[in-house]
Structure 1
Amino acid sequence: MLANYLIGLREGLEAALVVSILVAYLVKTDRRHLLPRIWLGVAIAAGVALAFGFALFYGPRGLTFEAQEAIGGILSIVAVGLVTWMIFWMAKASRSLSGELRGQIDDAAEGSWWGLVLVAMLAVGREGLETALFLWSTTEAATRESGATWQPLLGAAAGLATAVVLGWLIYRGAISINLSKFFAWTGGFLIIVAAGVLAYGVHDLQEAGILPGLHTLAWDVSEAIPPSSWYGTLLKGIFNFSPATTVLEAVAWVLYVVPVMFLFVRGIRRSSTPSTPQPAASEI
Structure 2
Amino acid sequence: MLASFFATFLIGLREGLEAALVVGILVAYLTRLGRRDALPKLRTGVGLAIALALGVGAAFTFSAYMLTFQAQELLGGGLSLLAVAMVTWMIFWMQKAGRTLKAGLESGVDRALRGGVWALVAVGFVSVAREGVETTLFLWAMVQSIEDQADALLGAVVGLVVAAVLGWLIARGMLRLNLGRFFTWTGGFLVIVAAGVLAYAFHDLQEAGALPGPFGAGAPVDPATGLVLTGWAGFPFGWAFDVSSVIAPDSALAVLLQATVGFMPQMTWLQVIAWAVYVAVVAPLFVRGVRGPRRPRETEPSATPTASVADAASPAPLADAAPAAPGAVTSTAPAAS
User: Above 0.5 in TM-score?
Assistant: yes
1:65-214 to structure 2, matched below 5 A, reads: 65-142=69-146, 145-146=147-148, 149-214=149-214
- Which contiguous aligned blocks of 4+ residues in structure 1 show a shift greater than 3 angstroms? none
Secondary structure of the residue that 2:246 maps to in structure 1?
A: coil
Deviates more, 1:73-82 or 1:237-246: 237-246
CA contact (8 A) 2:193 2:259 kept: no
Deviation at 1:282, TM superposition (A): 3.0
Aligned to 2:294: 272
Rounded Cα–Cα distance in structure 1 between residues aligned with 2:293 and 2:142: 30
Taking structure 1 as the reference length, the TM-score comes to 0.95
Give 2:252's match in structure 1, choosing from 230, 245, 265. 230
Check the 8 A contact 1:91/1:183 in 2, yes or no. Answer: no
SS in 2 for 1:127: helix
Structure 2: segments with no counterpart, 5+ residues: 215-227, 229-237, 299-324
1:68 deviation in Å? 1.1
Structure 2 counterpart of 1:272, which letter? R
Q: In the TM superposition, what whole-angstrom CA distance separates every residue of 1:41-89 from its partner, at most 9, and x where no partner exists? A: 0110111111100011111211111111111111111110000001111
**Paired residue for 2:266, among 220, 237, 244?**
244
CA distance in 2, matches of 1:134, 1:253: 16
- Alignment match, 1:281: 331
Give distance in 2, aligned partners of 1:8 and 1:272: 28
| Distance (Å, rounded) in 1 between the aligned partners of 2:98 and 2:166 | 16
Cα 1:254/1:236, change in 2 over 3 Å: same
| Secondary structure class of the residue paired with 1:282 | coil
The code of the aligned residue for 2:33 comes to: T
Counterparts of 1:7 and 1:42, CA distance in 2: 20
Cα-Cα RMSD? 1.4
Deviation at 1:180, TM superposition (A): 1.9
Which residue of structure 1 lines up, in the alignment, with residue 29 of structure 2?
Answer: 25
The number of aligned residues is 280
After superposing the two structures, state which structure 1 stretch, 178-187 or 29-38, moved more.
178-187
Rg comparison, structure with higher value:
2
Amino acid at match of 2:272: A
The amino acid that maps onto 2:208 is: A
Contact 2:192 2:260 in 1 (8 A): no
| Distance in 2, Cα, partners of 1:94 & 1:178 | 14
Secondary structure, aligned partner of 1:55: helix
Deviates more, 1:183-192 or 1:61-70: 61-70
Distance 1:268 1:48 in 2: 32
Say whether the 8 Å CA contact 2:17–2:163 is kept in structure 1. yes
Per-residue deviation, 1:175: 1.7
> Whole-Å Cα distance in 2 between the matches of residues 9 and 224 of structure 1?
33
Structure 1 residues 238-277: Cα deviation after superposition (integer angstroms, max 9, x where no partner):
3332110111100000110111000010011013335263
Q: Secondary structure at the match of 2:275?
A: helix
Tell me by how many angstroms 1:283 deviates.
Answer: 5.4
Query: Is the 8 Å Cα contact of residues 90 and 183 (structure 1) preserved in structure 2?
Result: no
Deviation at 1:281, TM superposition (A): 2.5
> Structure 2 length normalisation: TM-score?
0.80
Letter in 1 for 2:141: S
Q: Verify the 8 A CA contact 2:112 2:120 in the aligned structure 1.
A: yes
Q: Structure 2 residue aligned with 1:218, among 240, 251, 254? A: 240
1:27-51 deviation digits (Å, cap 9, x = unpaired): 1110000000110001101111111
5+ long unaligned stretches in structure 1 = none
State the alpha-carbon separation in 1 of the partners of residues 39 and 89 from structure 2: 30
**How many angstroms apart in 1 are the aligned matches of 2:111 and 2:167?**
25
* Partners of 2:251 and 2:183 in 1: CA distance: 32
Contact between 1:218 and 1:250, CA under 8 Å: does it hold in 2?
A: yes
Partners of 1:156 and 1:237 in 2: how far apart?
A: 12
How far off is 1:203 after superposition? 0.6
